Amino acid sequence: MKQMHYGTALVTGASSGLGRGLALWLARRGTRVFAAARRQEHLDALAQEARAAGATLEPVKMDVAQADATVERIRQLDADCGGLDLVVANAGVGGATPGKQFPWEFTKQMIDINVTGAVATLGAVLPQMVERGRGHLVGISSLAAFRGLPTRAAYSASKIFLSSFMESLRVDLRGSGVRVTCIYPGWVKSEITAKNTFPMPFLMETEEAVERMGNAILRGEPVYAFPWQMTRFMKLLHALPNPLFDALMSRRR
């Protein structure tokens, strides 16, 4: 499959983890990358690393939880650069939201970032992309979207929402010239997973995960899930009858 090239790209959640890696990966391939996140000092360090590699990466301080401000900022970037070719909604948070001690404040924060923030990011310049007849929207979901996991009600639900949102967009935008990709990573080393105290099967190095994601985006894959071992396992869980799934997950919890 022929790989695409992008003149401009926006990547959110670029101060660490997959977002940081993907922003640098794209910049090193000649894309002018707008790297967006809340932590300015992390973005400045990323821009310096990109410059050392002869790449163009511009820091953009942005909090996607502030949805209206996010839409306004992205529209301004789109106008200033002559049109964004690629928008990657990567910013997200994870963590436990157990039903018996349901933490409302954390749940709201997760929804504001993972759901509302992602939609604001992807939808900000979608009409402009359709008008131009080109563009690529990428949403970073999770294998946790394949089934509601114990103690992860808010996280699984937020990723299920994003997956369904991307699927509907993919159907709606067929023939418009605007591509849609949904990516489902498994366990990847990051600031988020470093806090986990439970086993993480097939935990992947960030660099390998970024390479896989970047190539899937350039190929224009509509859906890409990895690693294959965890993907197969989650698909099996998805196919289980509810009583069997509930019993299995209760023991896992």
Catalytic residues: 155
Output the CA–CA distances (angstroms, integers) from residue 62 to 33, 43, 127, 149, in the order listed.
14, 11, 21, 30
Strand, helix or coil for residue 82 = coil
Residue 148 burial (C-beta neighbours within 10 Å; 0-12, 13-18, 19+): middle
Q: In the β-sheet with 57-61, what is the strand arrangement from edge to edge?
A: 57-61, 32-37, 8-12, 86-89, 135-140, 178-185, 223-226
Contact in structure between 40 and 61 (CB atoms under 8 Å): yes
- Rounded to an integer, what distance in angstroms lies between the CA atom of residue 153 and that of residue 145? 10
